[in-house]
Amino acid sequence: MKKAFAGVAMAAIFVAMAPVAPALGAAAGAAAGAPAGATAGAALLIAPADATRLKTWITDQKTPSVAAPAGLTVAAGATLPATIMTHKIAVAPAITVVDPAKYEYAVIGDTIVLVQVSDRKIVYAICEDENRCQSH
């Protein structure tokens, strides 16, 4: 009887903690320090070395930059208008941190943005001028 009660109590604790777990993960990432070029409030956490590999791969693609439409703030949380074309991220050994089924990229001005395919929300930005990008 005691084992059954303990099992039920542990299950209740895990269920109660479920909504907190993503927040704890985000807090741990923030405590470790945001990667260079990440915007404040970015929904996607990428280690600095992975961000560098991703930036190098995207730069090597020579994707043309587009101007930001009037009213668009290029920062995490913004919705990318349909007028800006996004590009697929290749499945490559160097790029394993980003799921190409969930994210695509665009180059807007001097900023590379990762966008959720499902809702076109910007989840991560890599800027040439890291100080500007981090201030968003």
Residues 135, 73 contacting (CB under 8 angstroms) = no
Pick the CATH number of 35-134 from 3.10.450, 2.60.120, 3.40.50, 3.90.320: 3.10.450
Note the pLDDT of residue 69: 92
3-state secondary structure 3-15: HHHHHHHHHHHHH
Note the pLDDT of residue 1: 46
Residues 89, 71 contacting (CB under 8 angstroms) = no
- Sequential pLDDT tens for the chain (136 residues): 444 443 333 333 333 333 333 332 333 333 333 443 444 444 688 888 888 889 999 999 999 999 999 999 999 999 999 999 999 998 776 677 788 899 999 999 999 999 999 999 999 999 876 666 643 3
- Can you give the residue ranges of every domain in the chain? 1-33, 35-134
